[in-house]
């Protein structure tokens, strides 16, 4: 270049409160040095108005002028001007002038744009809401969006369910206002008017604020809001809760009436009594809730119910009917054949019947709750007193959970008494006080009599009777015992109680023990004699027996004659001692006894 040139950016953007840096680049022919640099701003308008110098820069110093910018200015090594704490009033044209001696002067300028980011929008609902707006032919005010303190002035658009809304005659209308505040910032307001229908009850509306920043367009969206829309009811729904097919006697039931209008209409409930007669049940409900509560329903609660609504704007009436069916079991009856009271050994048949609009199952249970049979008949054969019990017929509706009823019948078996337990035999002592017990089973209830006198106590449980007789034992009681007699109108039964003296068994025991001891003593003695005989310690034996016919018998021997009636016994003893058998003739001889 052959002359002095100064270059600067045409526009510099800075956010309010930030620091603006404006560069000034220059070229001097021959790479000569500058003489001075002046930074100024144009006081009014981008082209006209006097300049106000901010600072004077030479090679040796920087002189800052006394202006509104004093204290906020700084100059960098590259001679760029920095302005801190920028305000909206700083949005003006700044001039950089360079002097270079013989090369003359050069200048250029930059327009400083100060912006403030749009803070979003604040919404204000329609002063009339959206009441009855679905009935209006013209658009109704939906909402207002306001953006305050922004620079430059932003633009506001509206969206419904994400789709931008455009002006449309008799459907969508958008009005906007822009106000410049004393601070230089702008307040922009936009109001949306739209014609809505019941289909818009779930629609979401939002506004978007668009603004420029550093040469680019930015946007801030408001949160989405739903607008309350009033519209009349077109359809009515009436249902039973829980399902009508499962309702049973004793349940709590709700009839719920719902309308698709907003706000909800006023509800009323009716029940058909006769062909053209309806009972008003509105007093049992809250007209605004649309719920009819029926507690502890029964068979008579079944019938046709009607819900009615009235639109107060056009007085149009809607109604809906529902049939309530209450399932029940009634008339449970148990019959016994034959009907007369059975006796032991007889058989009976129990029949159970009931009425219900649904199919029924039958179960039979005994007095302890155990299931004994299924079906509506129970056959009992060969009855005994022990068979007597309370049988119950349980009627169940399988298709309606929880619907059941029971009926009990008592099967009482009659018969003459049967003694089932008695305290015999009973070991006692003289003058001892004892309890005699007699237990029997019978129906009708029997009476108990004893053949002896004493204090009797009776205990009755169901068909069992027990009698305890307290008596003192004497000789007559030991000899004769006692008799328990149990009788009722159908007969009697008796049993004898035998009393035994406890001494008798003791004496027998002593004799038995004595016999056992004697046997043991004899066995031991025989063993000893046999042992001594084998050892030769006893003289009696074969060597001690001599023939009495021999004449040489010595006179110092004592001869004892054994008589015949003792021979067999003597022979037996000798035979047992020697374990030998001899003829009878050999058994006659002399027995020599040495003294």
189 and 136 in a single domain? The answer is yes
Torsion (CA) 285, 291, 295, 297 in degrees, nearest 10: 110
pLDDT at 124: 45
pLDDT at 194: 87
Q: What is the distance in angstroms between the CA of the first residue and the CA of the last residue of the chain? A: 188
Residue 509 lies in a domain: no
pLDDT at 121: 53
Buried b (16+ CB within 10 A) or exposed e, 98-135: bbbeebeebbbbbbbbbbbbbebbebeebeeebeebbe
Of 349, 380, 411, which residue is a domain's last? 411
Of 185, 200, 230, which residue is a domain's last? 230
CA distance 464 to 450: 18
131 and 217 in a single domain? The answer is yes
pLDDT in tens, 363-394: 999 888 889 899 999 999 888 888 767 899 99
pLDDT at 367: 84
pLDDT in tens, 436-451: 999 999 888 899 999 9
Could you give the number of structural domains in the chain? 5
pLDDT in tens, 66-100: 888 988 999 998 889 999 999 888 888 999 999 98
138 and 156 in a single domain? The answer is yes
294 and 203 in a single domain? The answer is no
Residue 129 lies in a domain: yes
Residue 41 lies in a domain: yes
- Region 445-463: mean pLDDT is 89
Which residues are CB-contacts of 379 (< 8 A; sequence separation ≥ 6)? 347, 348, 349, 350
164 and 144 in a single domain? The answer is yes
128 and 216 in a single domain? The answer is yes
Question: What is this structure's pTM?
Answer: 0.52
Whether residue 242 has pLDDT greater than 90: no
CA distance 221 to 132: 29
Residue 54 lies in a domain: yes
Greater confidence (180 vs 559) lies with: 180
- Region 487-492: mean pLDDT is 91
Residue 149 lies in a domain: yes
129 and 218 in a single domain? The answer is yes
402 and 428 in a single domain? The answer is no
Single out the residue of 312, 225, 308, 226 nearest to residue 263, CA to CA.
Answer: 312
378 and 289 in a single domain? The answer is no
Residue 86 lies in a domain: yes
Could you tell me the residue range of the domain that residue 197 belongs to? Answer: 122-230
78 and 50 in a single domain? The answer is yes
pLDDT at 270: 92
437 and 459 in a single domain? The answer is yes
343 and 385 in a single domain? The answer is yes
pLDDT at 568: 38
- Maximum C-alpha span of the chain: 210
pLDDT band at 528 (very low <50, low <70, confident <90, very high): confident
- Kindly report the three-state secondary structure assignment for every residue of 448-470: EEECCCCEEEEEEECCEEEEEEE
Dihedrals phi, psi of 83, to nearest 5 degrees = -120, 120
pLDDT at 515: 87
Residue 552 lies in a domain: no
Contact 254, 240 (CB under 8 A): yes
Residue 574 lies in a domain: no
Strands 204-213 and 330-337: unpaired
**How many other β-carbons are positioned within 10 Å of the β-carbon of residue 281?**
17
Of 377, 411, 445, which residue is a domain's last? 411
């Amino acid at each position: 270049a052959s002359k002095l040139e100064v270059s600067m950016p045409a526009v510099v953007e800075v956010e309010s409160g930030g620091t603006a840096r404006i560069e000034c680049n220059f070229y001097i022919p021959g790479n000569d040095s500058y003489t001075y640099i002046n930074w100024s701003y144009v006081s009014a308008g981008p082209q006209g108005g006097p300049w106000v110098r901010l600072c004077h820069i030479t090679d040796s110093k920087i002189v800052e002028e006394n202006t509104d910018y004093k204290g906020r200015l700084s100059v960098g090594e590259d001679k760029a001007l920095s302005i801190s704490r920028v305000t909206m009033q700083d949005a003006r044209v700044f001039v950089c002038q360079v002097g270079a001696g013989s090369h003359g002067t050069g200048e250029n300028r930059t327009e400083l744009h100060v912006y403030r980011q749009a803070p979003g929008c604040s919404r204000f609902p329609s002063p009339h809401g959206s009441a009855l707006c679905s009935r209006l032919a013209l658009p109704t005010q939906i909402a207002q969006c306001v953006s305050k303190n922004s620079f430059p002035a932003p633009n506001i658009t509206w969206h419904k369910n994400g789709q931008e809304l455009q002006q449309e005659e008799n459907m969508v209308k958008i009005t906007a206002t822009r106000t410049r505040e004393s601070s230089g910032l702008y307040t922009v307001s936009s109001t949306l008017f739209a014609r809505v229908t019941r289909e818009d009850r779930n629609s979401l509306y939002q506004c978007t604020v668009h603004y420029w920043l550093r040469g680019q367009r930015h946007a801030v969206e408001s949160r989405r809001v739903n607008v309350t829309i009033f519209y009349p009811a077109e359809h009515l729904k009436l249902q039973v809760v829980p399902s009508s097919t499962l309702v049973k006697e004793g349940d709590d039931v709700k009839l719920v009436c719902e309308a698709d209008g907003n706000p909800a209409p006023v509800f009323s409930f009716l029940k058909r009594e006769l062909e053209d007669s309806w009972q008003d049940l509105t007093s049992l409900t809250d007209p605004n809730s649309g719920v009819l509560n029926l507690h502890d329903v029964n068979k008579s609660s079944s019938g046709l119910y009607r819900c009615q609504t009235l639109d107060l704007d056009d007085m149009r009436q809607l109604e809906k009917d529902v049939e309530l069916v209450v399932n029940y079991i009634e008339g449970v009856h148990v019959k016994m054949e034959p009907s007369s009271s059975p006796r032991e050994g007889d058989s009976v048949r129990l029949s159970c019947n009931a009425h219900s609009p649904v199919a029924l199952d039958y179960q039979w249970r005994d007095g302890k709750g155990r299931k004994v049979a299924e079906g509506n008949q129970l056959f009992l054969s060969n009855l005994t007193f022990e068979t007597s019990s309370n049988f119950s017929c349980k009627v169940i509706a399988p298709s309606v959970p929880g619907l059941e009823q029971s009926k009990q019948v008592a099967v009482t078996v009659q018969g003459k008494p049967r003694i089932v337990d008695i305290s015999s035999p009973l070991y006692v002592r003289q003058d001892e006080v004892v309890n005699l017990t007699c237990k029997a089973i019978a129906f009708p209830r029997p009476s108990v009599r004893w053949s002896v006198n004493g204090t009797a106590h009776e205990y009755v449980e169901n068909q069992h009777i027990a009698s305890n007789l307290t008596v003192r034992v004497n000789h007559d009681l030991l000899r004769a015992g006692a008799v328990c007699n149990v009788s009722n109108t159908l007969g009697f039964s008796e049993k004898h109680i035998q009393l035994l003296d406890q001494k008798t068994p003791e004496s027998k025991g002593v004799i038995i023990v004595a016999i056992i001891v004697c046997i043991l003593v004899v066995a031991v003695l025989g063993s000893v004699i046999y042992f001594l005989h084998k050892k030769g310690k006893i003289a009696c034996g074969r060597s001690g027996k001599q023939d009495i016919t021999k004449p040489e018998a010595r006179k110092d021997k004592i001869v004892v004659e054994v008589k015949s009636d003792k021979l067999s016994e003597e022979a037996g003893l000798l035979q047992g001692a020697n374990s030998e058998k001899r003829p009878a003739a050999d058994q006659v001889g002399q027995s020599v006894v040495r003294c």
